[in-house]
Amino acid sequence: MVHAGHFGPMKDEESLEAIAAALDLGVNFIDTSDAYGAGYSEALLGEALKGKRDKVILATKGGNVMVGPNRGKRNFAVDYIGPVMEESLKRLQTDYIDLYQLHNPNLEVIRGGEVWELLERRKKEGKIRHYGVSINTIEEGVAAVQDGRSDTIQVEYNLLDQEPAEKVFPPAQRANVGVIVRVPLRRGLLTGKLILEDQQRFQGEDVRARNFAGEIFKRELEKVKQLRFLERPGRSLAQAAIAFCLGHPAVSVVIPGGRNGHQVRENAAAADLKLSADELQQITELWRGGFSR
């Protein structure tokens, strides 16, 4: 999302630097969507991966309408997903997508949409290798796991929102469904670098203008203060936050955003970190208590 400008203006040079740094570090999973910049992110990624396509497991999503009179709506009809999948393949400059995900469908689609039959056909044709679903609610996550059709689910999970670990991860493990954790840094909050004055620059298409509206941002910053104990020399709060997500046995992969090479390198270093049992206990107690102390 960040490379399509959804977190403020971006320069292509920075985006390409970030992707190159990730590949150099051995990062081999990249997640995008046709919704990010109405295809801009996919097109940028297609250029960046020329000659390197075999180095990554490439995931994208479809179902959010980003252009035309229905902009802002979701459409998981077969006659919509079929064509936009082809458009994604062209923008990504690839013959196949490793993981194609329905981008936040409702329960009706998860439980019985005809689109699943389309995904299975495309898999047999070799255009996609696996398919899954990106979900917004606990109920959707549970339904996607129970249904048995999704190879993966993508869910928000982080130090500030641990509910999926209790209600979604256990059935996912039992069903052998891969878990992709998004928003591990809570849209920048868990980097520990944001201050209250930053709220003024969250404008327009910046997703933080919506997610952190009103008093929400101030309340979330107060919670982050209570997590500062995770910082130490050689380990940033962001790295601890990513390590927390990676440490759960149900989690297959974590997808933090990185604006540039520096951020990507910092994020990737979290893969070598492990939080202590005492730290994990304190994290759980803070969350269960609503960060109210």
So which residues are the catalytic ones? 36
128, two tokens? 């996609």
Q: With the C-alpha atoms ordered 51, 52, 54, 59, is the resulting torsion angle positive or negative? A: negative
Half-sphere exposure of 35 (CA within 13 A, CB side): 21
Q: What beta strand segments (E) does the chain contain?
A: 29-31, 57-62, 97-103, 128-134, 152-156, 178-182, 251-255
Task: Count the Cβ atoms, other than its own, within 10 Å of residue 289.
Answer: 10
Residue 217 to residues 192, 200, 252, 263, Cα–Cα distance (Å) = 13, 11, 29, 22
Neighbour-count burial for 151-188, b at 16+ CB within 10 Å, e otherwise: bbbbbbbbbbebebbeebbeebeeeebbbbbbbbbbbb
Q: DSSP string covering 119-148, please?
A: HHHHHHHTSEEEEEEE-SSHHHHHHHHHHS
CB-CB contact of 77 with 105 (8 Å): no
